[in-house]
Structure 1
């Protein structure tokens, strides 16, 4: 994957993002609460105590995170961590697995590595928290919020003001559809039909969130899954991306994008959905990352970092931390672009900043 290196662009943008993050955390958050649904791109510790091989609570994960390894599948904060800072939250949104001493009125992160929209996705690697269970966990949190605020009506008024971030679907392809030796879905569905089944199922959960007070939603599209180091090394040809996988991701994204328009008319008048195109494959060419198709850390089972191995030193030049997940540097650019559309290719039809201003 050729790339023209533009280091003259990289560092100024990195400093700009850091400055905006630093500036945002000193005032009142732009939204009172943030609820996060998703997979390993957003997981911040929910898988730590599960019986699964998809864990990241060990070094070198978290090597650039203030407290070290936490269960995040990157070297620093995730994209949604950074978005939360840009929104003005002083602390990161806590994982559902560790909310006992947390202020749940400010939100909860339900994301789980290997999880998908379909319950079976990713389960060959062990336990995960599927979107169905994440939704059930949210209902439990809503009940606790109602108890804190004095009833479900007051809870709903609070939840009406929250932001709901949903980034899920990758494992329905990487750890389901494109593993025909384990999962039968590719035998039953064409890519077009499979994407529709996933979007239809997702819409049911969104309707459920609506019934429990949700009004503002950020729906994140899939990345170019055929351009991950894992896809390239296992299925690619001469270092090229796997176009079959990318094509499936694009079909899913197109259907999700068109569904967002339908959701904005289908749900209540005060509801608003936006679609974020988080295609990491465009970052390298536009921002000058030097290494686009290799992981920064040494990887082993399931493409994850090998425990306690020393990673690359020039990690700000890498798109990928392990064989699937972006580095802190890539997450920063994706988060900043999603928040204020600094790169119009990322967002549709508006960005997160304008969404929260519509409250």
Structure 2
């Protein structure tokens, strides 16, 4: 009997892995709210007076309809996750929800934005995490009007997924920019990680207070391995990662992981999962070894923040490149990040059946 049930487990996992979009139009969660930075931005920065924008070619060259404001050649990780969850359309940016039902979700992510208010502002104004949550409060009032009042809106939000992927810019566009920001002179790496996670915790508690109950909290990727870091702070002529940068963000990840454990114990009516983005490396995913190295940008870059030169033709073999510009991965890597996040963490709080429980049967 036990062997039969384990066989069914294999079948279930196989079906999930090969056809996660089996319920398109009937999503696993009724709504998806996205908070973050340029890894998730889908157009919120388009009308801001900032150079941190991506609403021009070659950005979006592989996205249906062309450039939207996504900082890559095609879809982002959260786009793929949205599809995996069964939504029939991608979640719209807060800056343009026209024609969309906000009850199903809104994307508030902002390129260059961070946890701290000053992060990324050398490039122009952006929407930090606190501002993104304030924008969510505006949307909640619209949801309440649609559903028939605050109580019904809250009941709805309790069932929605809150996806938060932010913090990289607090290092890339703050702590490591020593000529622009003073944080590296104010905090040690340990102190800075602690300060960031404390501020992050405060904002998570605000979201919980206004109705959020299902949280996917993303750790930071290895920012010492992005082309910009290697170019600016790497060893002369070397294409290896800047380990000092990686060690700094791993301190943040450790503290965020601990925060997730703490929140799960404190809020028994909620579920928090930690998504480990630092595990996306070649030793864990052999396919990455066949892709162009970390200093090989797919598009020609220019300007202060290493973005693609407008309208320049990018590389042809985009699926074989790790990085699109100086900071952002290609769609192929975004897809890998999405699958890793969905199957390792997000499925634990969104899928109606806990697959892991079957192992014990």
In the TM superposition, what are the counterparts of 1:201-212 in structure 2 within 5 Å?
201-212=199-210
Encode CA deviations 1:27-65: one digit per residue, 9 max, x unaligned: 510000000000000000000000000000001100110
Q: Which residue of 1 aligns with 2:301?
A: 299
Q: Which residue of 2 aligns with 1:289?
A: 290
Q: Which residue of 2 aligns with 1:322?
A: 325
Question: In the alignment, is the contact (CA less than 8 A) between 1:25 and 1:90 conserved in 2?
Answer: no
> Shift in Å at residue 286 of structure 1?
2.4
- The alignment of Structure 1 onto Structure 2 pairs a total of residues equal to 333
2:216 aligned counterpart, secondary structure: strand
In the TM superposition, what are the counterparts of 1:332-351 in structure 2 within 5 Å?
332-341=335-344, 351=345
Question: In the alignment, is the contact (CA less than 8 A) between 1:24 and 1:85 conserved in 2?
Answer: no
Question: In the alignment, is the contact (CA less than 8 A) between 1:321 and 1:327 conserved in 2?
Answer: yes
2:163 aligned counterpart, secondary structure: strand
1-side partners of 2:177 and 2:16: how far apart?
Answer: 38
Unaligned runs of 5+ in 2: 1-14, 354-361
Q: Which residue of 1 aligns with 2:221?
A: 223
1-side partners of 2:193 and 2:352: how far apart?
Answer: 30
Residue 274 of structure 1 pairs with residue 273 of structure 2? yes
Aligned-residue CA RMSD (Å): 1.7
Over 3 Å counting, the alpha-carbon distance change for 1:262 and 1:282 in structure 2 is: same
Encode CA deviations 1:89-125: one digit per residue, 9 max, x unaligned: 0100000000132100000000000000000000000
Question: In the alignment, is the contact (CA less than 8 A) between 2:280 and 2:337 conserved in 1?
Answer: no
In the TM superposition, what are the counterparts of 1:1-359 in structure 2 within 5 Å?
20=19, 23-24=21-22, 26-237=24-235, 238-267=238-267, 269-279=268-278, 282-283=281-282, 286-287=286-287, 288-293=289-294, 294-301=296-303, 302-341=305-344, 351-357=345-351
> Shift in Å at residue 283 of structure 1?
4.2
TM-score w.r.t. structure 1 length? Answer: 0.89
Q: Which residue of 1 aligns with 2:357?
A: none
> Shift in Å at residue 20 of structure 1?
3.1
> Shift in Å at residue 18 of structure 1?
10
Encode CA deviations 1:68-93: one digit per residue, 9 max, x unaligned: 00000001110000000000001000
2-side partners of 1:62 and 1:93: how far apart?
Answer: 16
2:220 aligned counterpart, secondary structure: coil
Encode CA deviations 1:216-257: one digit per residue, 9 max, x unaligned: 000001111010011111111122211111011110001101
Question: In the alignment, is the contact (CA less than 8 A) between 2:35 and 2:129 conserved in 1?
Answer: yes
1-side partners of 2:164 and 2:186: how far apart?
Answer: 26
Unaligned runs of 5+ in 1: 1-15, 342-350
> Shift in Å at residue 295 of structure 1?
1.0
Question: In the alignment, is the contact (CA less than 8 A) between 2:38 and 2:110 conserved in 1?
Answer: yes
Question: In the alignment, is the contact (CA less than 8 A) between 1:226 and 1:246 conserved in 2?
Answer: yes
Q: Which residue of 1 aligns with 2:4?
A: none
Question: In the alignment, is the contact (CA less than 8 A) between 1:83 and 1:336 conserved in 2?
Answer: yes
Encode CA deviations 1:157-199: one digit per residue, 9 max, x unaligned: 0000000000000110000001111110111101111111111
TM-score w.r.t. structure 2 length? Answer: 0.89
2:56 aligned counterpart, secondary structure: coil
Question: In the alignment, is the contact (CA less than 8 A) between 2:24 and 2:83 conserved in 1?
Answer: no
Question: In the alignment, is the contact (CA less than 8 A) between 1:17 and 1:336 conserved in 2?
Answer: no
